[in-house]
Structure 1
């Protein structure tokens, strides 16, 4: 596979470009210090068959290329699920888990490309549901029979209740998700047109909801107990990707504050293209073959079945890095990502650097399988060209985070306010906060404004003059 671009989109140097710096207005700048254009999605990561689909959707439907590309990338990864994995180091085996958010103003065209991307998986789910309903009908009929009746109709003495197979989950409760993961060991995609309907439910019913999604990102085994029926579920290899949309004005609430500091925000890749007008309409119909080809590709991915172990359990098809590809990834880490980490005091930037390393390895896997499914490469290892393309994609998301940062920085505490909260008790008064703030060089008016605004998500008012940390 060659890494040279099929499209000549503007390229940014492989320098970390994330501008999350406390107390500064955040600007998206190039190495020369000049303001640059919004980054363009590196379409060359896709094989030609998928590029042609994205290009056709732009031509006929006026879909934004960034929204379409990010949606196709995430849905393809979800179709892969647990079928493939990649080993970068002895103890580092990664699967293609992606958390993605499309960001844009109302009516800017976020939803249509996402719907088209997910459509093949939803169609498959519809087919699975028809099979499930027939199986449940048979099971219910068996359940009503006596032992003699079952023997008469040549039915087994024992019958397991059918499990509902699916690729897409829309119910955002953790309990529903865990049930879907148990019944679908290949993995699922949480699809939310408005991501807020997912994020706003966190901690609504259970204080640990957000923690489950932090863990799910890593795909590490965990146990879940359903108190309602005393059921204990163990997920050895949970796979869950997430995709949805949101508006710029909601980013601070959804990804700022504590979610910026605990690494929740950096787990979500964000796509926020420059759009200043509504999508136009086209009187020319797009050929049916365009979306039929996308469905064919997704069905081919889903049809791939991994081998099984001695116990009959499915094991992923594991890819390794070629030596040249691994050296290229290590070079990126040493020369680009480590530099970005060392040059900032921001915990938010450092969290982003860590997650970009995770995503880089996952991108290598997804890109390699994409090109394999479309007949452009092999499946035995991560090739050098794949690593190069994955680096370009990773830097696109780093640069996009710089564009996102001004929208969510209202939820980020600078060092002084972080220290202030650390010095205060869990419950405190305005007078106590002012006294501590003055010692840190924060003016009385600033700390009162900080408290009045809810401490950027870290403070809740109990009563007049009394607050508590959350």
Structure 2
């Protein structure tokens, strides 16, 4: 048989992707290399974990494994790290935690090795302190290496960052509990600390009783869970106005399904492959964690990205839409960096100096996915006295639409071009039509205003 002759064989992964796309706003699994896609679908089929949770969890695990070792140089002097702040939304019993545990398990294994080595060094150190013949001035107390942090104080986080130059990833089952815990120790507010970590700005801590610490290039990532019922807690304080919420990447599946128990078992090869992939990413960095590999964006990929960004904006339909869009545009760089390093490492090729077009396109798909979810969360946090809080553009579009209209008519009216650009995007219109405080869907593709003219 001619090996170059095309066959009619159907790719199982392609079928899984096609099925996944039947959901509304599915996690774009196709952005990953086939090796990762295969793992996601296999684990989902066996354990019945939500694909959104697995996709986002693996994205977070890869980000944490890379750390600050590889950064994207957008322009001279403008470096971007791949740290992500991911919030997984679900109900009790939706297996958020088990899905996340699977994703970060290879990193936990590495942290276990670090801890074993630390204990050995501590035993030697303590033995040296007890040895009367030992020159105690020459003894150096060992420091614990680690990548993941769960329960900590702000001071402990700073100390850990000081000892782990490649950075850390905060993991928490309950995001609201994490914020409350941080606020116990930080009078300036939990959001301000996390905003600093998100931006990667220099952290400087000065205390009269201890030595000062200065971390010039910190890497702090975050992945945490939150229950649907407490989402409104995110609207309290300054979180809605200081840009804090808009920096969070919400994983909010279209529908929640009860986990069905079964006797299925997973092929060990998938677990081995995933563990090897994450281990290889961790091992990309040098032992001293000091050097950083700088990647540039390939010319054609950069041109594609610029065209997308320049055409990405229409007039804002919601007060918070612009802030969400701007923060997520910044995230596209981070997504693309992560995807490029992941793909290069799995394929074991030499292209680890440039971010190429497939990674950029994957980053844009993630932008679309997380934008939809951010708008979904923001809609739930919106004031209930709704009509008085509409933006001017939203009021105009609401007035322009007839009392009864079809989806096609709404596109023609709301998305009409002004100065060569649509008044709003179809995506924004889709979100608007789902607002049950303004519209009722009377049948497929047919709508009616709640408050009629």
| TM-score relative to the length of structure 1 | 0.75
- 1:382 aligned residue: 355
Q: Shift in Å at residue 405 of structure 1? A: 2.2
- 1:370 aligned residue: 342
Number of aligned positions between the proteins: 375
Judging changes above 3 Å, is the alpha-carbon distance between structure 1 residues 268 and 414 closer, same or farther for their aligned structure 2 residues? farther
Q: Identify which of 263, 269, 278 aligns with 1:283.
A: 263
Q: Work out whether 1:399 is the aligned partner of 2:372.
A: yes
Judging changes above 3 Å, is the alpha-carbon distance between structure 1 residues 49 and 353 closer, same or farther for their aligned structure 2 residues? same
- 1:222 aligned residue: 203
**How far does the alpha carbon of each residue in 1:22-52 deviate from its partner, in whole angstroms, 9 at most, with x for none?**
xxxxxxxxxxxxxx96300111111111111
Question: Gaps spanning 5+ residues in structure 2: where?
Answer: 1-12, 391-453
Judging changes above 3 Å, is the alpha-carbon distance between structure 1 residues 39 and 199 closer, same or farther for their aligned structure 2 residues? same
- 1:168 aligned residue: 148
Greater RCO, 1 or 2 (C-alpha within 8 Å, sep 6+) = 1
Q: Work out whether 1:68 is the aligned partner of 2:71.
A: no
Judging changes above 3 Å, is the alpha-carbon distance between structure 1 residues 296 and 413 closer, same or farther for their aligned structure 2 residues? farther
Q: Structure 2 CA distance, aligned partners of 1:145 and 1:306?
A: 34
Secondary structure (helix, strand or coil) at the match of 1:201 reads helix
- 1:322 aligned residue: 298
- 1:447 aligned residue: none
Secondary structure (helix, strand or coil) at the match of 1:220 reads coil
RMSD: 2.6
Q: Structure 2 CA distance, aligned partners of 1:233 and 1:217?
A: 19
- 2:134 aligned residue: 150
CA contact (8 A) 1:306 1:317 kept: no
Q: Structure 1 CA distance, aligned partners of 2:94 and 2:280?
A: 32
Secondary structure (helix, strand or coil) at the match of 1:270 reads strand
Q: How does 1:11-410 map to 2 (within 5 A)?
A: 38-146=24-132, 149-150=133-134, 157-208=137-188, 209-226=190-207, 229-255=209-235, 258-306=238-286, 314-336=290-312, 338-339=313-314, 342-344=315-317, 346=319, 348-375=320-347, 378-410=351-383
CA contact (8 A) 2:145 2:163 kept: yes
Does 280-289 or 36-45 show the bigger shift?
Answer: 36-45
Does 260-269 or 283-292 show the bigger shift?
Answer: 283-292
Q: Structure 2 CA distance, aligned partners of 1:411 and 1:77?
A: 37
Judging changes above 3 Å, is the alpha-carbon distance between structure 1 residues 165 and 196 closer, same or farther for their aligned structure 2 residues? same
Q: Structure 1 CA distance, aligned partners of 2:388 and 2:158?
A: 38
Q: Structure 2 CA distance, aligned partners of 1:119 and 1:414?
A: 47
Judging changes above 3 Å, is the alpha-carbon distance between structure 1 residues 193 and 204 closer, same or farther for their aligned structure 2 residues? same
Q: Structure 1 CA distance, aligned partners of 2:191 and 2:262?
A: 42
| TM-score relative to the length of structure 2 | 0.77
Q: Shift in Å at residue 202 of structure 1? A: 3.4
Judging changes above 3 Å, is the alpha-carbon distance between structure 1 residues 247 and 345 closer, same or farther for their aligned structure 2 residues? closer
Q: Shift in Å at residue 268 of structure 1? A: 0.9
Q: Shift in Å at residue 313 of structure 1? A: 6.8
Q: Structure 2 CA distance, aligned partners of 1:412 and 1:175?
A: 42
Does 175-184 or 408-417 show the bigger shift?
Answer: 408-417
Q: Structure 1 CA distance, aligned partners of 2:149 and 2:119?
A: 18
Judging changes above 3 Å, is the alpha-carbon distance between structure 1 residues 349 and 49 closer, same or farther for their aligned structure 2 residues? same
Q: Structure 2 CA distance, aligned partners of 1:412 and 1:83?
A: 48
- 2:398 aligned residue: none
Q: Shift in Å at residue 412 of structure 1? A: 11
Secondary structure (helix, strand or coil) at the match of 2:185 reads coil
Q: Shift in Å at residue 196 of structure 1? A: 1.9
Does 321-330 or 273-282 show the bigger shift?
Answer: 273-282
**How far does the alpha carbon of each residue in 1:272-329 deviate from its partner, in whole angstroms, 9 at most, with x for none?**
103343111221211122112111111101111249xxxx872211100011111111
CA contact (8 A) 1:356 1:394 kept: yes
Question: Gaps spanning 5+ residues in structure 1: where?
Answer: 12-35, 418-470
